[in-house]
Structure 1
Amino acid sequence: MQIELDFAAVLSQWPLLAKGVAWTLGLTAISALLGGLAGVGCAWVRTQGAAWSRTLVGVYVELFRNTPFIVQLFFIFFGLPAMSVKLTPEWASVIAMVLNLGAYASEIVRAGIQATPAGHIEAAYSLALTRMQTFVWVVLPPALQRVWPALVSQIIIVMLGSAVCGQISTEELSFAANLIQSRNFRAFEAFIVATVIYLLLSGIVRWALNQLGQRFIFGGGHG
């Protein structure tokens, strides 16, 4: 039995693929920014916050790290309307991705913070820096440098996880591939193309985030 592949039938639908890529990158950019900030904030709470706040953040982190992303997405999109909170597919996807990344980023950043030598913190206090100033200027930059590869990998995982957002009609890349194969019945070719695009996006996003970290976050170009 000979299989004839027709990638032209898929590539001719490039506007749909381009739109899917744009949505995937957009969702990733928003979740990386907001989820990263949430992770840093939660890491600070878990290392320096009050007991009640550490417990609250701990519950959030464990909840989102120990349940499937698709369940979180479905709860936000299908479950919240039962409490009169209705969201568009796009907003539900953004919220789910931000909350998911924030939980994982919290533990990643916390590991970097806890590796900070005590002498650095004591030196900062001796210079009359406040706890917040010490955290922002002394503790956080080297902590992020230590854990940046793990944080970047987690962002990539969240980006690839966005593929399930097509299940609630968010028009990201997997949604586009599924729509294309439903029109021309070239499922094999459609998802091969989607796979190649995801591989390319993963490499590009990883490179971009590594450059961002080295130049603007922890190294001033000395990564």
Structure 2
Amino acid sequence: MAYEMNFAPVLARAPELIDGAIATIELSAKSICIGLIIGLGVALIRFNRVPILKNIAAFYVETFRNTPLLVQLFLLFFGLPFLGVRLTATESAIVAVSLNLGAYSAEIFRAGLDAIPKTQIEAGLALGLSRLQTMRYVVILPALKVIYPSLTGQLTLTLLGTSITSAISATELTLAGAKIESQTFRSLETYIVLAVMYIAITFTFRAVYTLVGKWLFRRKVPKASIVAATIMDEETSQ
């Protein structure tokens, strides 16, 4: 007997799907912000070869890049209570996804930092810029421009990866869909709707990444000499 598609029972639960989509966006946004901060910090530690810390950073990166996100979620949600630390499902999801993204983005950031010529860094220092100013104006922004496409691709994977957090009942879109599917028994229709919603969310995030990229790179990245002259002019005027 031919299967008859019927989206009515699923669409009747639209408010639940919308709530799930909003929760997914919030979870993704928080995890991306935290993960990028962690990733950049770890990349700078490894790039500058800070004693002891570089080994800790390398251990963190290798650990989280070589274990599944699902296992990391289970360790946080089911394992930490044995150590006296209890996190809610949503808190565990944010921590796990953030740490996972931090490890992957750290390697992407490090690749961008390594792409900056050493002579450019030396030129910045020779022209009177401090180490911090050199990293800020001469290294980080040009490096970010190099790795931006790869970085945004990883952020998209992180967004889609939040669906795994439904395994610990974290509030998000996939969990909302699973509940609707179990109650309506319209599996095909439910997951078609979920797929369409994930596509819409992904394209929205990609549009945001494009706008951010245009804002960040609206002007050509200046060379060390230009940066030094600009900073000196600003300091003189003050």
TM-score (norm 1): 0.95
The answer (yes or no) to whether the contact 1:40–1:105 under 8 Å persists in 2 is yes
Distance 1:64 1:142 in 2: 27
Distance 2:78 2:219 in 1: 45
Shift of 1:171: 1.4
The answer (yes or no) to whether the contact 1:21–1:172 under 8 Å persists in 2 is yes
Unaligned runs of 5+ in 2: 222-238
CA gap 1:221/1:178 in 2 versus in 1, 3 angstroms: farther
The answer (yes or no) to whether the contact 1:72–1:96 under 8 Å persists in 2 is yes
Question: 1:118 maps to what in 2?
Answer: 118
| Structure of greater Rg | 2
Distance 1:44 1:171 in 2: 34
Distance 2:93 2:152 in 1: 20
Farther-moved stretch of structure 1 (21-30 vs 195-204): 195-204
Aligned partner of residue 51 in structure 1, secondary structure = coil
CA gap 1:80/1:135 in 2 versus in 1, 3 angstroms: same
Q: Percent identity?
A: 39
Question: 2:230 maps to what in 1?
Answer: none
Farther-moved stretch of structure 1 (91-100 vs 195-204): 195-204
Aligned partner of residue 162 in structure 1, secondary structure = helix
Aligned partner of residue 52 in structure 2, secondary structure = helix
Question: 2:218 maps to what in 1?
Answer: 220
Shift of 1:122: 1.6
Question: 2:79 maps to what in 1?
Answer: 79
Distance 1:14 1:67 in 2: 35
Distance 2:21 2:191 in 1: 14
Deviations 1:87-140 (A, max 9, x none): 011100000011000000000010000000222212210232222221112100
Deviant stretches of 4+, over 2 Å? 220-223
Distance 1:131 1:99 in 2: 28
Question: 1:56 maps to what in 2?
Answer: 56
Are 2:111 and 1:95 equivalent residues in the alignment?
no
List aligned pairs for 1:1-223, cutoff 5 A: 1-215=1-215, 217=216, 219-220=217-218
Question: 2:225 maps to what in 1?
Answer: none
RMSD: 1.4
Shift of 1:222: 6.8
Unaligned runs of 5+ in 1: none
Deviations 1:133-165 (A, max 9, x none): 211121001111111111111111111111011
Q: Which amino acid aligns with 1:129?
A: L
Distance 2:49 2:213 in 1: 26
